[in-house]
Chains A and B, each alone.
Chain A
Amino acid sequence: MIKRVEVNYRGIFQKNLGKKIGSDIVMIASRMGQKAFSNGRYSDSPERNGIPCKYFAFVSPDLSEEELEAECGAKLEIDEANISLVLDDTMCKGVEPWGWHGIRPINERVVEDGCLIVFSRKSHDELLKFIGKKPYNYRLAILEGDASLAGLWVNKDDYTHERALGGIAAIDPSLISIEAVESYLLDKTKDPRRAGAARAAYESLRQEAMPPRVRTVTAAEGIDWPHEIPVLPKWFEMQEGAVVPAVKRGFEIGPRGQTRNPGFKRGTTKTQRPAVRFDLCTKCTLCWAECPDECFDPTADGLYDIDYQYCVGCGKCAQVCPVKECIVMVDELRFDDDSSPWEHWKRDPQDYIRWVEQKKGKERVSYPVVTGKGMILSQGETMPEGKIVPVRKTEEVDV
């Protein structure tokens, strides 16, 4: 018997965290007398900021190490996952790791009666608005918390790692038991708070826990997956000489007026997206000029629309925008689709302002460039219509 665990993480920002969780599953399962090993999806490297990546751990109570390796090792992608851990809930909208891979459902590899464990502050129903349907029942578990984002060589020491281990122990004690998790963490760190964090996560996912955080998802639940999975061409269908024809250049004024690569959209890279108050815009062009991914489309009225399919959520536009509250980065899961914000604004400006302010909310989240510093929360405000305030720096406050 083989138990497969998949850790879905954000490239660079959670690289170290994902690997740490995978490694410790191996260590704990081994202490329980099982055979185990772990590896990463090799083609994810070199990782780019925020790109959806995977780390794997494989555990077996009865197979030899060589048999386990033969079944699960030397493969680029996991065949199936008994547990699929998601370290950032915005990946529930789909994951596109490379060009020509397509945008794939986060639960693509979850087996029947398997479990998708998501770090999130959202409810099961809110997440299922984005997750694809499966032809069978599986479980969705929510470990309450924020995505832990840091840098390449570090992970933020916020107990996410310990909580992930405790959560897995609650879902499948035969894989790693909570006792083995606790004893391992105590032996390794001599810090009872770490074992305690694992235990608390374990308790939160137990069946008798209130509110219940593990829920069976039936075959009817979830969405019909809207994205096509590409079929790779055969050798004789490809252009010779490692040549890729360019995306045909085209430009028109207006939404999606620039041609872009349909084979790699990269929009699933983002955890936040820029929300724009068009009424505050001074048409300074900085967002359009500075966007590293050319996501801004000029419109006839001098404003700039955004093609969210291609936005990676880097925050550069919000950083350079010189007007207070004009461009604000907002949690990606608050948005249902990638439709044109400018078209919404043109259709009904009052409705758009109400809509975008509701999306923005009060909290402004930023991730300082200092590696490992983590997330910073600050207080936002609602600007009256048309009130342009050319100083946008906000003070950091505890919310």
Chain B
Amino acid sequence: MSVATAEARSDASAYEREDLLNGCQAVAQGVRLADVDVIAAYPIRPYTEVMDAISKLIADGAFDAEYIIADSEHSQFEIVKHASSVNARAFGGSSGTGWMYGFEALVVTATDRLPPLFLVGNRALDDPGAFGVEHNDAMAIRDMGWLLAWVTSPQEALEHVLIGYRIAEDKQVRMPMALAMDGAFLTHSQHIVKIPSVAAAKKFLPPYDLGERRLHPDNPISIAPQANEDWVMEIRRQNWEAAKRARGVIQEAYREFNRVFGDRYAAPYYFDEFMTEDAEIVLIGLGTVASPARTAVRRLRERGQKVGYVSLRWFRPFPTVELRECLSRFKAIGVVDRDFAHGSPDNGGILLHEIRSCLYPAKNRPAIVNFIGGLGGRDLSIADAQRMYEITAEAAGRDSLDGFVTWIGLRE
């Protein structure tokens, strides 16, 4: 049982001060502490605030970096990719349709195996124009050779800038990292954040070194020339190998983070379990839905119900083995999707399909139901969470479930 909060576990000497920061500002502090060299920016809500916060840090003299305003997300992401190829630690980010607009650059950043970090302030995909959170934007890169993780608090957001660069830049990995964060509910929600010291950040995050792939006149190479059918399968296979190696690197990065900053994260690190020891019914979800879900768990526990919550952090690489071991202990699972997968096998969410696939080889397969909720920034309340636990509990022990996908918060 664990919750990643700075108060719960941390080594005070590794943190220098506290400040009231929202998710974007926390990421900006992470970018400062990671000593990022190049930032490329183009505004779109809710990501915009991170570029505001970084530019203010630079203007205030608190941070020194190349800060480039691009003419579009496509150029922005290309700048980040190119900076990364010349051995500059680079940062970018976007939201919703802006993220999608730069997709060509995002795809090649992965195949070129470069390790910049991007913030995705999750936003619904237009039309209709909507600013609120929905996870489909970040999910779009799930099959493209990226690292993809969700955070649930400004504290985690700050720390995952450091953790993210460390994993992405590791010689065994060298993949781009997307750090996803719920738009509005996290990007614009202020909390007291413990800010690590520069020395501790430096101790944890080694300098970026692209080595033999560094694009430089002293190291003449071509990156991504025209490659026909003779090469592409081998390149894809290499990408898969890097994703496999990332699993070990992720584990090591969290262990090292715990050594430097105190016992902050619990194994297996890919997800956090809450009150699951003796639980029979659990929900699993990504991002800020953790708060109402955990609160619902506490209230239901008071009534003697054996419920728990699993907050999934890492989506790529998907923690298949760890999650299978975890989830096959329960009687029924409710998967909460803040996204949708239209026309998919189960007519449910993306996370549902991943988890059902993950559990297929399990000896003890729990019943699974799915909840589509909070789309377009609609809130998911404690009452909603309690209702999801009730529906999931009804599914326990049943083989087939009619209409096992429930839309939560829909006017009907």
Taking Cβ atoms with an 8 Å cutoff, the residues of A that contact B are 43, 76, 98, 100, 232-236, 238-246, 249
Given contacts A238-B234, A239-B213, A249-B220, whether A244 and B225 have CB atoms under 8 Å apart is yes
B60 near A: Cβ within 8 Å?
no
Residues of B near A100 (CB, < 8 A) are 230
Residue pair B213, A234 in contact (C-beta under 8 Å): no
Residue pair A242, B228 in contact (C-beta under 8 Å): no
The distance in angstroms between the C-alpha atoms of A100 and B228, with both chains bound, is 11
B223 near A: Cβ within 8 Å?
yes
B260 near A: Cβ within 8 Å?
no
Residues of A near B238 (CB, < 8 A) are 235-236, 238, 240
Shortest 5 CB-CB contacts between residues of A and residues of B: A241-B113, A246-B220, A235-B234, A242-B224, A235-B237
Residue pair B242, A43 in contact (C-beta under 8 Å): no
The distance in angstroms between the C-alpha atoms of A242 and B227, with both chains bound, is 9
B107 CB to nearest A CB, Å: 12
B229 near A: Cβ within 8 Å?
yes
17 examples of A-B residue contacts, CB within 8 angstroms: A76-B229, A98-B230, A234-B234, A235-B235, A236-B241, A238-B235, A240-B113, A240-B213, A241-B213, A242-B111, A242-B223, A242-B227, A243-B221, A243-B224, A244-B222, A244-B223, A246-B222
B209 near A: Cβ within 8 Å?
no
Residue pair A245, B221 in contact (C-beta under 8 Å): yes
Residue pair B229, A43 in contact (C-beta under 8 Å): yes
Nearest B residue (CB) for A46? B226
A244 CB to nearest B CB, Å: 4
B273 CB to nearest A CB, Å: 35
Given contacts A235-B237, A235-B238, A239-B213, whether A244 and B230 have CB atoms under 8 Å apart is no
The distance in angstroms between the C-alpha atoms of A233 and B234, with both chains bound, is 9
A45 CB to nearest B CB, Å: 10
B216 CB to nearest A CB, Å: 11
Residues of A near B242 (CB, < 8 A) are 240
Residue pair A243, B220 in contact (C-beta under 8 Å): no
A238 CB to nearest B CB, Å: 6
The distance in angstroms between the C-alpha atoms of A119 and B207, with both chains bound, is 63
The distance in angstroms between the C-alpha atoms of A245 and B234, with both chains bound, is 17
B211 CB to nearest A CB, Å: 11
Given contacts A43-B228, A76-B229, A246-B220, whether A241 and B112 have CB atoms under 8 Å apart is yes
The distance in angstroms between the C-alpha atoms of A238 and B224, with both chains bound, is 13
Nearest A residue (CB) for B236? A235
Residue pair A243, B223 in contact (C-beta under 8 Å): yes
Residues of A near B222 (CB, < 8 A) are 243-244, 246
Residues of B near A232 (CB, < 8 A) are 230-231
Residue pair B235, A242 in contact (C-beta under 8 Å): yes
B116 CB to nearest A CB, Å: 13
A76 CB to nearest B CB, Å: 6
B360 CB to nearest A CB, Å: 28
B240 CB to nearest A CB, Å: 10
B313 near A: Cβ within 8 Å?
no
The distance in angstroms between the C-alpha atoms of A232 and B112, with both chains bound, is 20
B293 near A: Cβ within 8 Å?
no
Q: Scoring B residues 369 to 387 as 1 if CB is less than 8 Å from chain A, else 0, what string do you get?
A: 0000000000000000000
Residues of B near A76 (CB, < 8 A) are 229
B324 near A: Cβ within 8 Å?
no
The distance in angstroms between the C-alpha atoms of A43 and B220, with both chains bound, is 27
Interface centre among A43, A234, A240, A244 (most CB of B within 10 A): A240
Q: Scoring B residues 237 to 250 as 1 if CB is less than 8 Å from chain A, else 0, what string do you get?
A: 11001100000000
B83 near A: Cβ within 8 Å?
no
B135 near A: Cβ within 8 Å?
no
B106 near A: Cβ within 8 Å?
no
The distance in angstroms between the C-alpha atoms of A235 and B233, with both chains bound, is 8
The distance in angstroms between the C-alpha atoms of A249 and B221, with both chains bound, is 11
B174 near A: Cβ within 8 Å?
yes
B384 CB to nearest A CB, Å: 44
Interface centre among B234, B237, B242 (most CB of A within 10 A): B234
Residue pair A241, B114 in contact (C-beta under 8 Å): yes
A238-B234, A242-B235 known; 20 other A-B pairs, CB under 8 Å? A43-B229, A232-B231, A235-B233, A235-B234, A235-B237, A236-B241, A238-B231, A238-B238, A239-B213, A239-B221, A240-B242, A241-B114, A241-B174, A241-B213, A242-B224, A242-B225, A242-B227, A243-B224, A244-B221, A245-B220
Nearest B residue (CB) for A232? B230
A48 CB to nearest B CB, Å: 11
Nearest A residue (CB) for B235? A242
The distance in angstroms between the C-alpha atoms of A248 and B234, with both chains bound, is 24
Nearest B residue (CB) for A244? B222
The distance in angstroms between the C-alpha atoms of A279 and B241, with both chains bound, is 60
The distance in angstroms between the C-alpha atoms of A100 and B114, with both chains bound, is 26
A346 CB to nearest B CB, Å: 33
Residue pair B111, A240 in contact (C-beta under 8 Å): no
B316 CB to nearest A CB, Å: 18
Residues of A near B235 (CB, < 8 A) are 235, 238, 242
